[in-house]
Chains A and B, each alone.
Chain A
Amino acid sequence: MATDFEPVLLANVGVPDSQRLEVYRQRGGYRALEKTLREYSPEEVVELVVQSKLRGRGGAGFPCGMKWKFLPKDRTVTYLCVNADESEPGTFNNRILMENDPHQVLEGIAIAAYATRAQTAYIYIRYEYVRAYETLQQAINEAYEAGILGERVLGSDFSLNVYLHRGAGAYICGEETGLIESLEGKRGWPRTKPPYPAVEGVFRKPTVVNNVETLCCVKHIMDRGVDWFLSIGVPADPNNPRDLGSYGPKLYCVSGHVNRPGCYELPLGVPCRELIERYGGGVRGGKRAKAVIPGGLSMGFLKEDELDTPLDFNSLQKVGCLGLGTAAVVVFDEDTSIVELLHRSCRFFAHESCGQCTPCREGTGWMYRILTRILHGEGRIEDLDLLLELADSMGIIPGTTICGLADGAAWPVKTAIRKFRDEFEAFIRSGSRLTAASSGSAAGEAS
């Protein structure tokens, strides 16, 4: 199905000087913005995005048009925050967009700002993305000079100022209210909701927070139309009223033990196995995959026999994962120790927990300590049930935390232990990975 898919979001990637305004314009850039400003009112743009059923690409998959519609009607000021704090392990699609096609990002921002009546847009960019930061700043400068940003965008009545704001290296600042707090100059502690950012966001004003890729999709929806967008991807399951469908192209980041890691643009719903085999070039060294992270670490793990699951917003829950997330696929071959992998995962989340809610602050650290103990050969079988109990009771899904970081920390634990319990038990019984179920060939490294 995806063989002939012609890239849209990545169309300019690889073109010489794709970062420059003139190249972007030659290739049809800012056409969509011009058309939008000329032909549509802001409300009509919002309506089109609602019709396109575009869902946020940042991880949660919230319908973008609905988010825009939540803005209060009588607002006087609106802010647009662009979430470029891409920190989910394994994810790099925003980085590719910003480094290679910054004007596409800016065009998406301008259209979204027009639709939401925002006159100020903040791009919150991850601290470590130095090159993307520089490229984007250059593009912003070019756009200001060309009259695409600033007062009277492209001669219209619409004005827009764009500010690029660098984060300080915290995973939690990718959470929308953590991002807002950080942008305001405070500690990146997610806010308790309600009020949602649409009502009280940056500087306590109505705010929209969108991911970079989402905004790039908005640009193409305006350029190519709603029908084009709806023709790509997986339609909503009519038997499942909660499925909102998975439409449009998606950037899949493939990494880990594969032959050709990289970012691939494909319609939503590509089966994980096809992505790995056909685009990622198969598992490195001709080995079998043991586990796969389907959409960034927080989504949990897939087993080898679950790899035929389509990567869309609706299917991954059926195999116990949290969701599609950022569609960052990380592949682990058969020699990988799941215990060590989970230990790393827990270390990451314990380090990145902001420390606000008790279950997450202490829970992530506790899980990390338990895994460390297991790794040092001091594990107990009942630790696995304790880990599961902790994982099941933290996060926004059980309602015990403010934001979803704890869910992200819990899902790898839940899926790893439930799907690879034998390996954990063998590891604990033997006190090391030497006799762990399927890691014979890595025995040498373990001692």
Chain B
Amino acid sequence: MATILINGQEVTIPDGQRLNLIQAAALAGIEIPHYCYHPGLSVVASCRMCLVEVGQRDADGNIRMMPKLVPACATPATDGTVVVTNSEKVRHAESLVEECLLLDHPVDCPICDQAGECYLQDYFYKYGQRERRAPETPFTSRRKDLGPYVTLFVNRCIMCSRCVRFTREVSGTGELAVVRRGNKAIIDVFDDYQLDNPLSGNTVDICPVGALCSIPFLYKQRVWFLRGNRSICLRCSTGCAIQVDHNRNRVYRLKPRYNPNANDWWMCDFGRFGFDYVYAEDRLRQPMRRTDGMLQPVSWDDIAERFAELWREAAGQDGTGTIAVVLSPFLSCEDAYLSCLYFRNLALPVRFYLGRVPVHGADETFPRRLLGAITNGRQQEPRFVIRAERCPNRRGVEAIIRHFQGEVPGFDDFLRDARQQDIAAAYLTGGYPESWLTEQEADVMGMLRCLVVHDVLPGPHLRHASVVLPMAVWFERAGSYVNYNGTLQCTERAVLPAADARSVGRLMWALLGRTRLYRPEVVLEELAEEVPVFAPAAELKGEFPEYGVRLDLSEPAHEAV
């Protein structure tokens, strides 16, 4: 156990943790300003913003300070280290670095997307000096698109080289480089190349200033108008922790949140920019029922009143027709659990199926192997994986179906059973961000007596639907999801659902006759009690765990209710 002294305050570093002085100071609530240091990247100690005075305290309590300043990012916190971050000397160094960085900076904050979350700006107010002593600089701002999603404002760059290190160390694609020397140095892509790797959007996040900006987000919003809600990305089973930034009920930006159980600091462009479908023109917005062969708008109340009756009719006079309940892996655990409860209680023959699990190729791992990279013969652990399984909650839905039914038939089983007319009716849930059924597959459903589709986007399945229900997408509802390694993560609702869309959970809550408003956190507590696999979530009590809760899904629970 190491104890260090920061500005006279003792900080104990927990055993087994190797921290640098920036991290150690953060434990004490002291901010050491920094630009080039990022916990996910190698340390270069080049911005020199984190300079501090250090010394060593010996066993007798005598302190010997070093004569020169050292970069906190490259100095390990060891027992007896003494750190001073607020001396005159440190303040002078900080203000000089800040002044140097602003020498060639265009100071175009009024038109800069980063303004409001810009370190250069924030540190200037905290550590800069008021007066500019360099009158000779013209203000210019040149822009260059580096790739489909990332643009560079050349003169805003402070040369921290985070983006360059990211493309070399995390994505392993190495498109970016520093070209030229001295104060003429700039970040650039090599000729005929562009920054188009699947992780390129992260360079925008890690850019401490407004040099790298996201093209889809450019000039869309001032960041101080945005409100952020914690959520996860549902584009693959990695389940990246994200923040959903929105204003006036519209989502503008998704950003990764640190979660060592899922994504570390990163997310892929596919997830980051892939939420356009939420605002698609043709998104399902209203409940509809087929009358005289045409889908006609109806109200949710109508649906709720007649829902149970629908299934009884479909099951037939003798009540022998099986009802298929297809639970999509895009549903939250609460959605799936309440659906299971509701259909169980119908006292009709019901079969639960896991909805289609979209799989695209193989897992894509990063860093990609870079030619000439010096790995010293070490096998590198992947730093980031875009998983082939392109859905957020296959494991959660599977665990719930397994609990209620013992076995978990898949979507192909559903299609087969439908084709063989083993089932009479189906409640089909979707939530997929793109079209997910072929015409032929949809035609199979034409043989059903009753088909209720609860989905986000239209598709061929609507042709045979008796009832169509619009679904709220993930950031329009709260819920929890289980990612590839069994981490249960909760999401908050960021915006209200588009038009009249509702989540499966809310529908089922009402159908189950529960009073008051639908509260997913209450459902999660109940789920944790009912389904043993989810037991670790019982202690949450509505708390939002930053890094999620690890579930043990290794042994499938076989007991059927």
Contact = CB atoms under 8 A, between A and B. Distances in A.
Interface string B162-192: 0000000000000001101111110000000
Contact of B103 (A203, A354, A365): A365
A138 B70 CA distance: 45
A185 B182 contact: no
Contacts of B70: 399
B182 A400 contact: no
A365 B183 CA distance: 6
Interface in A357-405: 357-359, 361-366, 369-370, 373, 386, 390, 393, 396-402
- The contact size tier of chain B is 35 or more
A225 interface: no
Interface stretch (A94-102, A311-319, A345-353): A345-353
B262 interface: no
Contacts of A399: 51, 68-70
A373 B135 CA distance: 10
B141 interface: no
Given A185-B372, A357-B48, A402-B46, A362 B103 contact: yes
Contacts of B104: 362
A357 B182 CA distance: 9
Interface string A321-356: 000000000000000000000000000001111111
Contacts of B96: 359, 390, 393, 400
A357 B93 contact: no
Interface in A177-208: 184-185, 187, 189, 192, 203-204
Given A358-B49, A369-B136, A400-B93, A192 B71 contact: yes
Contact of A204 (B49, B71, B159, B376): B376
B183 A350 contact: yes
A355 B180 CA distance: 8
B386 interface: no
- The contact size tier of chain A is 35 or more
A363 B182 contact: no
Given A354-B181, A362-B104, A396 B68 contact: yes
Contact of B47 (A350, A352, A358): A358
Contact of A402 (B45, B101, B178, B185): B45
A354 B70 CA distance: 20
Contact of B183 (A185, A362, A370): A362
Contacts of A23: none
A355 B133 contact: no
A369 B134 contact: yes
A261 to B, nearest CB: 30
A441 to B, nearest CB: 32
A236 interface: no
A374 to B, nearest CB: 11
A363 B185 CA distance: 14
A363 B100 contact: yes
Nearest to B164: A187
B241 to A, nearest CB: 31
Nearest to B372: A185
A401 B181 CA distance: 16
A400 B133 CA distance: 20
Given A359-B48, A361-B185, A400-B51, A373 B97 contact: no
Contacts of A187: 177-178
B92 interface: yes
Nearest to B66: A399
Contacts of B97: 358-359, 400
Contacts, number: 101
Contact of A356 (B44, B101, B103): B44
A369 B159 CA distance: 20
B100 to A, nearest CB: 3
B43 interface: yes
B557 interface: no
B158 interface: yes
Contacts of B49: 358
Contacts of B183: 350, 353, 355, 361-362, 364-365
B55 to A, nearest CB: 13
A174 to B, nearest CB: 14
Contacts of A352: 181-182
Nearest to A191: B44
B182 A351 contact: yes
Contacts of B51: 399-400
B182 A353 contact: yes
Nearest to B158: A358
Contacts of B71: 192
B59 interface: no
Interface in B20-46: 43-46
A362 B74 CA distance: 21
A358 B93 contact: no
Given A192-B74, A364-B183, A369-B134, A357 B69 contact: no
B280 interface: no
B74 A170 contact: no
B374 interface: yes
Contacts of B184: 355
A386 B133 contact: yes
Contacts of A184: 374
A402 B158 CA distance: 17
Contacts of A361: 100, 159, 182-183, 185
A400 B48 contact: yes
Contact of B43 (A192, A363, A366, A396): A192
A365 B43 contact: no
Contacts of A393: 92-93, 96
A56 B46 CA distance: 27
Contacts of A365: 103, 182-183
Nearest to B46: A356
Contacts of A370: 136
Interface string A393-429: 1001111111000000000000000000000000000
B100 A359 contact: yes
B181 A400 contact: no
B102 to A, nearest CB: 9
Contacts of A185: 372
Interface in B123-168: 133-134, 136, 158-159, 161
B48 to A, nearest CB: 5
Given A185-B372, A361-B159, A350 B182 contact: yes
A27 B463 CA distance: 99
Nearest to A194: B74
Contacts of A170: 181
Contact of B100 (A204, A356, A358): A358
A253 to B, nearest CB: 26
Contacts of B46: 189, 192, 356-358, 402
Q: Which 3 A-B pairs have the closest CB atoms?
A: A399-B68, A355-B185, A362-B100
Interface of A: 170, 184-185, 187, 189, 192, 203-204, 350-359, 361-366, 369-370, 373, 386, 390, 393, 396-402
29 contacts: A187-B178, A189-B46, A192-B46, A192-B71, A204-B374, A204-B376, A350-B182, A350-B183, A351-B182, A352-B181, A353-B181, A353-B182, A355-B178, A356-B161, A357-B46, A358-B46, A358-B97, A359-B97, A361-B100, A362-B183, A363-B100, A364-B183, A365-B103, A370-B136, A386-B133, A393-B93, A398-B68, A399-B51, A402-B46
Given A189-B46, A357-B46, A401-B48, 7 more contacts: A184-B374, A192-B45, A354-B182, A357-B47, A361-B159, A398-B93, A400-B96
